[in-house]
Amino acid sequence: MAIETAIIQEKIEQKFANKVSNFGMQKDVFSFEVTSDSIREVILFLKEEEDTNFHFLTDLCGVHYPDNMIDQQFCVVYHLHNWIENTRIRVKTYLNGAQPEIASISDIFLSSNWMERETYDFYGINFMGHPQLKRILNMDEMVSFPMRKEFPMEDNGRTDKDDRFFGRTANC
């Protein structure tokens, strides 16, 4: 039988109190948020706590929300899996847009090494304490981070297309 989300929430709230918030189901996955300065503690607790057993890091990725307040412009999302009871969980933490940095968990989950490097490469999120944080897919000479939403989706100066042909205007 899968571990009940209420039990997970209760254990996490007891241990971390006001460092965790926004518990709930999102797309059929139990999710919650953690303050960025507590993420290592929470991830380690979820892995080592006998009642939770989240021993597998399925994914770690970044998200950029340029329209959010400066303190929540970046998000790091962790997906963990308890194979014993086949339970999945999503943990989110928000970062400052001016200086997005967070503690590495590469010593807790070895698989996060590559995932943190990829997130750094695409979003510029600095994983403090990472053993070799450098570009993994893009060229070292690249000065931007391609997954950041800092550039307009389309070039307004283009003359080689007409929006009417793409169904983007009401006068088609």
Residue 115: predicted pLDDT: 97
Residue 4: predicted pLDDT: 83
How sure is the predictor about 154, in pLDDT bands with cuts at 50, 70 and 90? low
CA proximity to 136, closest of 115, 124, 118: 118
Q: What is the mean pLDDT of the chain?
A: 89
CA proximity to 30, closest of 92, 94, 88: 88
Residue 1: predicted pLDDT: 39
Q: Is the pLDDT of residue 2 over 60?
A: no
Q: Which residue has the higher pLDDT, 161 or 36?
A: 36
CA angle 85, 91, 48 (to 5 degrees): 50
Residue 150: predicted pLDDT: 79
**Partners of residue 30 on adjacent β-strands:** 25, 89
Rounded to whole angstroms, how far apart are CA atoms 147 and 33? 22
Rounded to whole angstroms, how far apart are CA atoms 20 and 9? 9
Residue 158: predicted pLDDT: 67
Query: pLDDT per residue over 138-147, tens digit each?
Result: 888 888 888 8
Residue 156: predicted pLDDT: 67
How sure is the predictor about 55, in pLDDT bands with cuts at 50, 70 and 90? very high
Query: pLDDT per residue over 102-135, tens digit each?
Result: 999 999 999 999 999 999 999 999 999 999 999 9
Contacts of 37 (CB under 8 A, 6+ apart): 19, 103
Rounded to whole angstroms, how far apart are CA atoms 56 and 52? 11
